[in-house]
Chains A and B, each alone.
Chain A
């Protein structure tokens, strides 16, 4: 009496295992949805060396082994820059332990006003691991040209002083230091996390 029951049970179990396996196989074959822009033919990111909020000069290539999210902004920017920094901080949290392999870098396009002290206070309020980069005007000019980043002073009020127009995309490098992904400020943190997971794989 017991044997047929066990056999039937095993058959059911086997059927479930096969079904789950087949579903997983189908799912894994489907291309993962990308919310930003994934670069199909990743090229090595041009290296640079600038002053950082860690108190030392860092090279972009120092971060090899981690994925790097590089954003260009300025600290008196009230809207798009905090939006992007907050979203990146949340995405990093959503990545869990994988998030430890993501380094966020915020390079100022306003080195005239963004001192290392201001930069440090600014970036670490989003996540203590975030690093601010403070290039000289000449370094900034060169780096932004290489990366296709636009920045320009725009008139503001007496209180704000000048404002900066700037490219608001985040450039993501994979662990090997290739430019792999572009994120935009309109993305939600879950979307950024999903894209970053692809780069971290």
Chain B
């Protein structure tokens, strides 16, 4: 009886794994999120100052994901913030997490969501990229290189 039970459990486990594997191949059918981070950039900034990183998060998967944090070796502290305007007044508030719904993209851009680099440990120099790691609830850590350039437009 015990042996049979264990065998049954094993079969169930294998079946479960197979189902997961199937899910992975069918992102539209509710599989894990497939998150991509593109176009990361920051303006040049000086050591000790504050910097901002912008990018686009695209969720090509079938499941919602959430950005829960960002890290980078270039700053003492890294926070996700959102600028908002009420009339002509600019407000800024830390965002604990940012939802990235399935099939949608979320833009981090000037005047909106941005990653705040608090007290830079090094200069952000034009043409010298630096790394950041975005932490997602479902997709885990995604590291990207941030281009240092002047803002366009």
Which A residues are within 8 Å of any B CB, using their own CB?
Answer: 75-80, 82-83, 86-87, 90, 118, 121-122, 125, 150, 154, 156-157, 159-160, 163, 165-169, 184-186, 188-190
Q: A87-B151, A184-B88 are in contact. Are A78 and B117 (CB under 8 A)?
A: yes
Q: B116 and A78: CB pair below 8 A?
A: yes
Q: B150 and A86: CB pair below 8 A?
A: yes
Q: A79 and B49: CB pair below 8 A?
A: no
- In the complex, how many residues of chain B place their beta carbon closer than 8 angstroms to a beta carbon of chain A? 32
Q: B151 and A83: CB pair below 8 A?
A: yes
Q: Is B119 in the interface zone, CB < 8 Å from A?
A: yes
Q: Is B76 in the interface zone, CB < 8 Å from A?
A: yes
CB-CB under 8 A from A90, the residues of chain B are 150-151
Interface string of B60-79 (1 = CB under 8 A from A): 00000000000000001101
Residue of A nearest to B94 (CB): A157
Minimum Cβ distance to chain A for residue B69 (Å): 12
Which B residues are within 8 Å of any A CB, using their own CB?
Answer: 43-46, 48-52, 76-77, 79, 81, 83, 85, 88-94, 110-111, 114, 116-119, 150-151, 153
Residue of A nearest to B52 (CB): A78
Q: B50 and A77: CB pair below 8 A?
A: yes
Q: B89 and A166: CB pair below 8 A?
A: yes
21 example contacts (A-B, Cβ-Cβ < 8 A) are as follows A76-B50, A78-B51, A78-B92, A79-B92, A79-B114, A83-B110, A83-B151, A86-B151, A121-B46, A125-B44, A150-B89, A159-B76, A159-B79, A160-B118, A165-B90, A166-B89, A167-B90, A168-B85, A168-B89, A185-B85, A185-B111
CB-CB under 8 A from B51, the residues of chain A are 78
Q: B79 and A160: CB pair below 8 A?
A: yes
Q: B81 and A78: CB pair below 8 A?
A: yes
Q: A75-B50, A78-B81 are in contact. Are A168 and B90 (CB under 8 A)?
A: yes
Minimum Cβ distance to chain A for residue B46 (Å): 6
